[in-house]
């Protein structure tokens, strides 16, 4: 197969669908570092097609309905990992309590990408040009992470990001929730891109 033909077609992998968080965790633990989860696929699919990454097992988590919610509970705004960019841009609870996050979602790509891309996927992918990191760090947000069955940990978004495309996540871990303290923080989001990185990203309060 010629190179030009190979590019654009991912290497072969086994596709598995998980319908609950426990099922996804079980598969991740079983397959170890040979597996990745697929959420909206907006970053992972292009990387697989360009062969910038490869997997033996792809665990599709998009059907896990338990990871799609936005609610206020305790002193937190809680957003499930599979909530899409469009929902974040338009959700009233998020608009009322974390407007800077809604604004950062409006600035992501186009309607197609916003329809499928998820907040958990964006944080896990850790593109240095990603919109959510500056907004969530300003909001002092944290993520809930699950690894082995029954284990859960919380990490500040400011600690999750370790560098371009690098996070504190282990291969068997799943981001399940983004948690924002209800601090009354008010701000505005704007950014400007240049050369594939965020040159200026400002959260003004
Ligand atoms: C044309 C285009 C333009 C874009 N422009 C922007 C932009 O301007 N700003 C911006 O911020 N983003 C942009 N993006 C990226 C977009 O926001 C993606 O949706 C996002 O980066 C990844 O989310 P996803 O749900 O599609 O994740 P996927 O592509 O499915 O997965 C991405 C990575 O995260 C992992 N992952 C996914 N979910 C989880 C989880 N819950 N727990 C642990 N790991 C997980 C996957 O294994 C994979 O490694 C753009 C994308 C495209 C295609």
At 184 the pLDDT is 85
Mean pLDDT computed over 17-37: 95
Residue 201 scores a pLDDT above 70: no
**Domain spans of the chain?**
3-204
Residue 42 scores a pLDDT above 60: yes
* CATH numeric code, 3-204: 3.30.465.10
Integer Cα distance of 118 and 105 in angstroms: 10
57-60 vs 14-17, strand pairing mode = parallel
- The percent helix, strand, coil of the chain (3-state, each to 5) is 35, 30, 35
At 196 the pLDDT is 59
Mean pLDDT computed over 158-181: 97
Place of tokens 């608009």: 95
Mean pLDDT computed over 163-175: 96
Which atom of ligand 1 is found nearest the CA of 145? 42
Give the strand order in the sheet containing 174-181: 70-73, 76-80, 174-181, 142-146, 152-156
Question: What is the percent of the chain with per-residue pLDDT over 70, rounded to a whole number?
Answer: 89
Report which DSSP code applies to 40: S
Integer Cα distance of 168 and 30 in angstroms: 20
Which of 30-39, 146-155, 158-167, 191-200 has the lowest average pLDDT?
Answer: 191-200
Residue 114 scores a pLDDT above 90: yes
Which atom of ligand 1 is found nearest the CA of 110? 3
Residue 2 scores a pLDDT above 60: no
Residues with beta carbon inside 6 Å of ligand 1?
36-44, 46, 81, 108-109, 113, 116-118, 120-122, 124-125, 127, 130-131, 169, 174-175
Residue 31 scores a pLDDT above 70: yes
At 203 the pLDDT is 62
2 C-alpha to ligand 1 centroid (Å) = 29
């Amino acid at each position: 197969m010629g190179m030009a033909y190979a590019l654009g077609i991912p290497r072969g992998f086994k596709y598995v669908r998980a319908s609950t968080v426990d099922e996804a965790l079980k598969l991740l633990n079983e397959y170890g570092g040979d597996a990745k989860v697929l959420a909206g696929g907006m970053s992972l699919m292009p990387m697989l097609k360009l062969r910038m990454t490869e997997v033996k097992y792809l665990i599709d988590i998009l059907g896990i309905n338990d990871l799609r919610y936005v609610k206020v509970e305790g002193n937190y705004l809680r957003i499930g990992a599979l909530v899409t960019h469009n929902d974040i841009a338009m959700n009233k609870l998020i608009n009322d309590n974390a407007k800077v996050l809604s604004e950062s979602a409006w600035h992501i790509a186009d309607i197609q990408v916003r329809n499928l891309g998820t907040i958990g996927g964006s944080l896990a992918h850790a593109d240095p040009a990603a919109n959510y990191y500056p907004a969530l760090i300003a909001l002092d947000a944290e993520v809930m992470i699950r690894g082995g069955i029954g284990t859960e940990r919380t990490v500040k978004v400011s600690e999750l990001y370790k560098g371009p495309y690098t996070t504190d996540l282990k291969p068997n871990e799943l981001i399940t929730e983004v948690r924002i303290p209800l601090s009354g923080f008010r701000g505005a989001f704007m950014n400007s891109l240049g050369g594939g990185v965020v040159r200026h990203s400002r959260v003004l309060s």
